Structure 1
Amino acid sequence: MNKTNKFKDSALPVSFEDTFIAFQHKSDRELLLAYFIFGLTKSPFLVKFLSQVAKVTLSMGLPVKPLIKATVFKLFCGGEKKEEYSKVIAKLGKAGIGTILDYSVEGTEDEAGFDGTKIELLNIIEQSKSNPNIPCTCMKMTAIGSFEIFEKVTANIVLSIDEQRAWDKVKNRLDEICKASYRAGKPIYIDAEESWTQAAIDQLAEEMMSKYNNYKAIVFTTLQLYRWDRIDYLVRLMEQARSGSYRLGIKIVRGAYLEKERERARLIGYKSPINSSKLDTDKEYNKAIELFINNIDVVEICVGTHNEDSCRLLVNLMAENKLARNHPHIYFSQLYGMSDNISFNLANAGYNVSKYLPFGPVESTLPYLARRAEENTAIAGQMSKELEIISKERRRRKIAN
């Protein structure tokens, strides 16, 4: 990224309303496509219906892939191959925005697939070594091991001999990935998943942080703040990092499996791990930001959010604590194709910003795209906000022309 140190005064205001900066990277045609897609995704029913139609038609071999690739895939993904996503990385880099390459292939359920994902991740880490526009990488643990084995380890179920061998392979794959990240000097973000697999993921992430975060945060774990128990966990992690003399790497998000979590808790009959309201989740999220600023000496953070209020809170706290806008412990992050008014305006003001850029075969990334679309329709006002800022920029361009 073309970062400089010219923005050391955090006290200057940052506006998220400048649509010229927000959409400088989009052509009129691309802006129209975004407007059309966000208009469709305002309807939860339509999102689920179109997601199912896309899956069925692809599985039947019908020629719909070009249409999907030219529309929703183009808006939210970097491409299928390196030649495609490299162009997106370069474009974001010109705006001072880093790229987190997200190999979004889901549904792998065998050892060959898990090893394939590991190799793909190692390739991304290798690319990042020589590319300043790739500040870090990310991974999903159930992409290198079966969902069932994470579920069993979380539930403290004794593994069979074969399962133990599989679990050992998971740990070896993870260690190889983290070691490569350590040698490259580029962080690896470990995504959070369903609560009934998360304890096993937490266990491995903690082991890797204590092993590889001795001089900087290389391994990051992810906290989903829609869970009411995550603040206590964050405090415990900070205490462990201090006592263990290592840096804590934390990515915070609001959460990705809200409906699934509540439904499972209802069906099985246990207390839902999810906060009772969106307001409670917002409070927990902002509390985590405040805790981080108060412990900046031991914690490095990635604030993954499309929430303008949370971004403003962090900007204001940085100013109050006289922290440089490009402080190396602080990153803002949004998904590619969304909240460009936040990403591009923060980057333009000198803050560290990254975009999550999914890539992979269209057929394999479809579950990811469907889940993201369903998540976003569940966020009150998110699609309306996207449409509002796109409409504002289209009006501005029409007047300018």
Structure 2
Amino acid sequence: MLWTRLPLYGLSKPSTGGWKPLLFDGGAFHLKGTAELARAWLVLRLCAWPPLVTHGLAVQAWSQRLLGSRLSGALLRASFYGQFVAGETAEEVRGCVEQLKALGLLPLLAVPTEEEPDSTAKTSEAWYEGNLNTMLRCVDWSRALVDTSGAARNSLMQLKVTALTSIQLCKELSAWIQRPASSSELSPERLAEAMESGKNLQLSYLSAEQNHHLQASLSRLHRVAQHARAQHVRLLVDAEYTFINPALSLFVAALAARWNRPEEGGPWVWNTYQAYLKGTHTRLERDAEAAHRAGLAFGVKLVRGAYLDKERALTQLHGKEDCVQPDYEATSRSYSRCLELMLRRVSQHGPLCHLMVASHNEESVRQATKRMWELGIPLDGPVCFGQLLGMCDHVSLALGQAGYVVYKSIPYGCLEEVIPYLIRRAQENRSVLQGVRREQALLGRELWRRLLGRKA
């Protein structure tokens, strides 16, 4: 059983009254139409079937050859695309967002553009510049789609760094950062200065071409952050694979040094922390304290993590120590510790510390909401929740109806671009997809109730 309370902030002890029970039992499904629930039940059942996830790209190609592009596309739009994607045009995305808002939920737009680690496709500055324009447009859409008049109604969007800079460069930088005597050439302050001034960096261990690409990448990141700040949109930078995460964190730290100053009204740039990695709690504690000492606001999106299988395969391939938690239970304990750390910091530092509890796990959400009550953190304060569009609606809807701030991560774009992106995400989130049986059961129960004409 989950509880909410009246929004009282700054309490040292929990209130003795105002508690109301909140159950994740699918009771909020009455807010959705029957056709929508039926599609969700069918799609989630298919996503929980491992062969379909494993061979998703091959199934898509086979479907196009057998049925033709038009019919195959129509089936995808009526099923997977319709379930997990906001749409392609501004009008379609707006329609999806209006539906979410009617349910008490907010959008977290995600551009499905990235460079894959095992991709053989050639990328160029022109490709990254095109992605920059897409990111700037996403900032505009994020601002236009959310009414920010309320204290908690922040416009947020996801930012994938590997859409703006190459994975190879990130690998080179990460390797240098992880050396015992890491070079001072890679300080966040130096990168922040290069971002703002536009003066070329010349790192001694990079080639002339790599230095040029680094400067262009820094310029792109700066332009997105600058535009996001002007439009009052907060950037949630996605974490990726461990072999490039040090470079991504360096970029975030450089952006934070410029845009997370208290006088800017930050944090405008948030980093993502993956609880399935063994060192996450230590790193989170270190980064939070460093931001505090520097007088910076601190924003965190806390996730369990999505790359477990690939991370294990990579560490075995290179003979390195396994960096991921041994099992799901250990990951949950890690998530719980990180969550407790951040909630305490939010209660101590208020608006200078923001947190998104990005989780589909009911126990994690229960912990977060109960600790918010105990620590005196208001429902409309600097803590919000996040789940994927089309999944975990029994949790999202219950939270939204109770007054918590809930965002749904919504990719958008054309069918040809988004479906491969969704398949990759499904392959990386197998544990999440295997865990949707409870949601399927709740959906089935609600559909059966409607079929029999019973009252809720």
**Could you say whether these structures have the same fold, taking a TM-score greater than 0.5 normalized by the shorter chain as the test?**
yes
1:155 aligns with 2:175: yes
Alignment of 1:246-325 (within 5 A): 246-296=296-346, 297=349, 298-325=352-379
Distance between the aligned counterparts of 2:217 and 2:62, measured in 1?
32
Name the stretch that deviates more: 367-376 or 143-152: 367-376
**Pairwise mapping of residues 296-375 of structure 1 onto structure 2 (< 5 A)?**
296=346, 297=349, 298-327=352-381, 329-375=382-428
Give the conservation status (yes or no) of the 8 Å contact 2:107–2:407.
Answer: yes
Deviation at 1:282, TM superposition (A): 0.4
Q: Which amino acid aligns with 1:46?
A: L
**1-structure distance, mates of 2:124, 2:65:** 20
Asked whether 1:67 is paired with 2:75, we answer: yes
1:77-120 CA-partner distances (Å, limit 9, x unpaired): 01122121110001111222110111113448322221122111
Name the SS for the 1:187 alignment partner: strand
Instruction: Give 1:141-290 correspondences, 5 Å limit.
Output: 141-156=161-176, 158-214=205-261, 215-290=265-340
Shift of 1:58: 5.1
- The residue matched to 2:244 in structure 1 has which SS? helix
Q: Report the structure number with the largest CA radius of gyration.
A: 2
What is the Cα deviation at residue 307 of structure 1?
0.3
User: Partner of 2:200 in structure 1?
Assistant: none
What is the CA deviation profile of residues 274-310 of structure 1, one whole-angstrom value per residue up to 9, with x for unaligned ones?
Answer: 1111111101111111001111114211111100000
- How far is the alpha carbon of 1:338 from its aligned partner? 0.2
1:87 aligns with 2:101: no
CA distance in 2, matches of 1:400, 1:260: 47
State the secondary structure of the residue aligned to 1:32.
helix
Instruction: Give the conservation status (yes or no) of the 8 Å contact 2:234–2:269.
Output: yes
177-186 or 149-158, which deviates more: 149-158
| Aligned 8 A contact 1:78 1:359 in 2 | yes
> Closer, same or farther in 2 for the Cα pair 1:86/1:7, shift >3 Å?
farther
Aligned residues between the structures: 393
Provide the alpha-carbon RMSD of the alignment: 2.1
**Equivalent AA in structure 1 for residue 163 of structure 2:** A
Please give the TM-score of this superposition, normalised by the length of structure 1: 0.92
SS at match of 1:290: helix
Aligned to 1:24: 31
The aligned amino acid for 1:90 is E
Matched residue of 2:176: which SS?
coil
Q: Could you tell me which of 142, 157, 160 is aligned with 1:137?
A: 157
Contact persistence 1:44–1:374 (CA under 8 A): no
Partner of 2:181: none
Counterpart residue identity of residue 312, structure 1? R
- Give the equivalent residue in structure 1 for 2:201: none
C-alpha separation between the residues in 2 aligned to 1:266 and 1:114?
32
Q: After the TM superposition, which segments of 4 or more aligned residues of structure 1 sit over 4 Å from their partners? A: 55-61
Q: SS at 1:196's partner residue? A: coil
**Does the aligned pair in 1 maintain the 2:132–2:220 contact within 8 Å?**
yes
Q: CA shift at 1:393, angstroms? A: 1.4
**Residue identity opposite 1:310 in structure 2:** S
How far apart are the structure 1 equivalents of 2:332 and 2:284? Answer: 16
The one-character-per-residue Cα deviations of 1:238-272 (angstroms, maximum 9, x if unpaired) are: 11111111111110111111110000100110012
Matched, 1:8 2:7: yes
Say which SS state the counterpart of residue 408 (structure 2) adopts. strand
Question: Quick one: structure 1 residues 56 and 248, their matched pair in 2 at CA, closer, same or farther if it must change by over 3 Å?
Answer: farther
Pick which of 32-41 and 191-200 moved more: 32-41
Whether 2:46 is the aligned partner of 1:40: answer yes
Structure 2 CA distance for aligned equivalents of residues 178 and 21 of structure 1: 37
Any idea what SS the aligned residue of 1:282 has? helix
8 Å Cα contact 2:139-2:233 kept in structure 1: yes
Contact 2:306 2:429 in 1 (8 A): no
Deviation string 1:320-357 (CA, Å, 9 cap, x unpaired) is: 11221111x10100000000011111010000100000
Residue 117 of structure 1 corresponds to which residue in structure 2? 131
Is 1:96 aligned to residue 104 of structure 2? yes
For 1:56 and 1:62, the matched residues in 2 are separated by 9
TM-score calculated relative to the size of structure 2: 0.82
Distance in structure 2 (CA, Å) of the matches to 1:288 and 1:97: 25
Give the CA deviation at 1:187: 0.6
Between 36-45 and 339-348, the greater mean CA deviation after superposition: 36-45
Task: Give the CA deviation at 1:376.
Answer: 4.0
Corresponding residue number in structure 2 for 1:398: 451
